[in-house]
Amino acid sequence: MTVVQRLGEILIEKGVLSLTELHSALEICHRSGGRLGTQLLEFGYVEESVLLGALAMQLSVPSVAKVKLLHSSLEVRKMLPSSVGRRLQAVPFENIKGGIKVAMTNPNDRAALDEISTQLKRKILPHVATEAAVLAALGGAENDDADWSPGVEPSVVKTRRSGDAASWNRLWEPPKLEPSELFRAVPRKPRGGDVLLATFPDLISVDSRQAVSYEHQIDDSNFSELMYRAESRDEIGGLLARYAAFKYDRVSLFSVHQGTVNGWLARGRSVVLEDLQTFSVALDAPSLFADVAHSGSYVGVILENESNTRLIQALADPAPAEVVAVPVRVKKRLVAFVLCDDPGHPASHDHVDEIITACKKAGVALEVLILRKKLLS
């Protein structure tokens, strides 16, 4: 059995990242659902070349640097509509005899690869790139206010590299802070009024318009309306993940494409999006997903087998004590799975029905999206 190494582990083993630095970046990722690599670059903890080397090793695909994307042919970059590129986080950068090289933040996204191939009518040669590089190549979106995501200035002093198992396990323990430490606003006067966003170890004050677009609370009162308004598969998946994350500490979504289950989106504590997206398993192979596909939903422990061992590795530490697993279907066609748990504790049974209902609504939203596209085609 081949177990894919986690991104954080690769960087620590290379001696280019400390556990303290990793912990600081992970705190932001676990709340935003964003990429670990993006936070590491924003904090200045690693260079782009180092991160790309680790991602190429983890994913077993070639990488492409930001400078190469920015100097690539504008004509080639425009082969894929920018709206599609932004949605899929992908940009073509070289047209060669064997196909078109495409930079992607998630080159394992099979649905995205098929969509790009259909659009370009060519074989796709995926390359991994950083999120900032892809957005910059699509038109400088990395400096657009609409794409701004709040974070905290790291108050971390570089420490001696350490990769021992005990330290790694302690990484996932939540920080122990007094209530008074959890609410501290940075004094500044934003355009639309002060809104406090929770971050560890600080809170930051941001523009209210930005705050709503970034982390507007999703609950039973607005979930259906937001689903109805969603305009893409990833937006629907993101809304579902955010809704479930208000019920459980860790939420992972897996897409189903052409009989294969792939890591897709993540939200909550101790899960790294890059690591989750390395996971892939055939739907007909013995696994938790095959069981859920037949049973309709599942609450309990993850049974031991090869596929499930790789799943647990992709979910990060601590391993789930118990999970809530629910399928998402468009009519009768299986399109995704939602996996919820509370790391370190058995999963709460109180919200199972709510997650099942949310998955049904996500299925309806995807069906509406498909019908919209058919009407406009």
Residue type, 326: V
Q: Which residue has the higher pLDDT, 170 or 272?
A: 272
When pLDDT is averaged across residues 266-285 and rounded to a whole number, the result is 91
**Picking from 98-107, 146-155, 264-273, 352-361, which range would have the lowest pLDDT averaged per residue?**
146-155
Residue 1: predicted pLDDT: 57
d(CA 101, CA 65): 13
Residue 343: predicted pLDDT: 87
269 contacts 280 by C-beta, under 8 angstroms: no
User: Own/partner pairs for 203-209, CB < 8 Å, 24+ apart?
Assistant: 204/150, 204/151, 204/152, 206/150
Give tens-digit pLDDT for 308-325: 999 999 987 888 989 999
Confidence band for 162, pLDDT divided at 50, 70 and 90: very low
Residue 372: predicted pLDDT: 87
* Three-state DSSP state, 91: strand
Question: Above pLDDT 90, what percent of the chain?
Answer: 64
Residue type, 364: V
Strand partners, 251: 267, 340
d(CA 133, CA 54): 16
State the CB neighbour count (10 A cutoff) for residue 158.
10
Give tens-digit pLDDT for 67-82: 999 999 999 999 999 9
262 contacts 254 by C-beta, under 8 angstroms: yes
